[in-house]
Amino acid sequence: MPFAAIALKLAVISSRYPSADAPYNHMFVHTRCRQYARMGVQVEVMVPDRAVGEYRIDDIAVTLAPAGVLADRLGSGDYAAVMFHLLHHSLVGALDGGRIYHRVLGEGMPCLFFVHGIEVQRVATSRPEDIQWRRPRSVVRAAYRDLWGFPRMRGTVRRFVEEGANTRFVCVSDWMRRDVESSLGFSISSKAVTIPNGIDTGLFRFDDRWPGRHRLLAIRPLVLRGKYAVDLAVDSVAALGDRPVELTLYGQGEEKQQIIDYIGSRGVSERFHLQDRFLDHADIPAAHADHGIYLAVTRMDAQGVSMCEAMASGLPVISFDTCAIPEFIAHGETGFLV
């Protein structure tokens, strides 16, 4: 009621957002926006795009437009705050978040700058496994981020620290804040708070999953190695030998065949079930209900949203003692850390 009474209006800006064709485009941002809307807040989502367009998803209005157009819209709107989620700099003017950052700073707009990781990290140091040296596209992408994108984002963050009197940085974990400061080479702590991505406990309801403990579940993009660590999921099943345990992996990605080949090479084809599709968010609880343990494989994670959703559903979780994972799992109490 207090929010509705003052007609609070927020602008949420991200380089990507979920749609009917791409339901996993920063779903964690959409989860936040849905909760804002439930509390009576008016939410306007903006995504830089070459063309102008609009659509709605779960009653959230999304505007697509060139960055300059969105910057003008911010300047003419009456927003209580602007929220940034993974808004990247770009060589393409229409997609360049730098124009929007400059406008917000110039007008002193109240701002929440959500820090998620890759936008303020170098690929070569934070996730070197993502660089596939035999694939030129992967190497070029990493070089672009590290040599062109990172310096610009570093300069942008420094400006918000020094000039953004109405700015707060939001990190999803304490580990993320420390890692960001190490990567950037300066502190954001004076303006930073830790607020993890929220989990919709109305959708993910706790139940006893232990009867299905021989059926493991993982939800990951189909990338064999790197951050998403599908190879470690395959290796985990192989390490179980002939025990009657099976793993189902839901996901999509361009490395599907590589993963299938790796599954075969490890001799676990009969116990590793690859489902080549992403689950709509509303369908994930049904997948939870069909399994008994969630295997949260990762090499680098600032929180692990799918892991936290599984915990909310009552699935015991097995993950790794790395990065921010220990902030969300107490080993031997709320899960197991390898």
Single-letter residue type at 176: M
- Distance, in Å, from the CA atom of 81 to the CA atom of 172, rounded to the nearest integer, reads 19
The amino acid at residue 56 is: R
The pLDDT tens digits of the residues spanning 246-291 come to 999 999 888 999 999 999 999 999 999 999 988 888 899 999 999 9
Closest to 282 in 3D by CA, of 175, 200, 161: 200
**H/E run at residue 111:** strand 111-115
- Whole-angstrom CA distances from 45 to 33, 84, 156 are 8, 10, 21
- Range 53-62, long-range pairs (CB < 8 A, 24+ positions): 55/19, 55/20, 57/17, 57/18, 57/19, 57/20, 57/30, 58/30, 58/34, 60/30, 60/33, 60/34, 62/17, 62/19
Least confident segment among 4-13, 21-30, 31-40: 4-13
Closest CA to 303 of 326, 287, 281, 282: 326
- The region of weakest confidence among 198-202, 207-211, 272-276 is 198-202
CB 317 within 8 A of CB 291: no
> What's the token pair of residue 246?
């099976």
**Mean pLDDT score, 234-243:** 94
Report the chain's mean pLDDT, rounded to a whole number: 90
- The closest of 211, 195, 177, 202 to 309, measured between CA atoms, is 202
Kindly indicate the confidence band of residue 3, based on its pLDDT and cuts at 50, 70 and 90.
Answer: very low
User: What is the C-alpha to C-alpha distance for residues 27 and 45, in angstroms, rounded to an integer?
Assistant: 13
Edge-to-edge strand order for the sheet containing 60-65? Answer: 53-57, 60-65, 42-48, 9-14, 81-85, 111-115, 167-171, 192-194
Is the model's pLDDT at 1 over the cut of 80? no
pTM, rounded to two decimals: 0.83
242, 268 Cβ separation under 8 angstroms: no
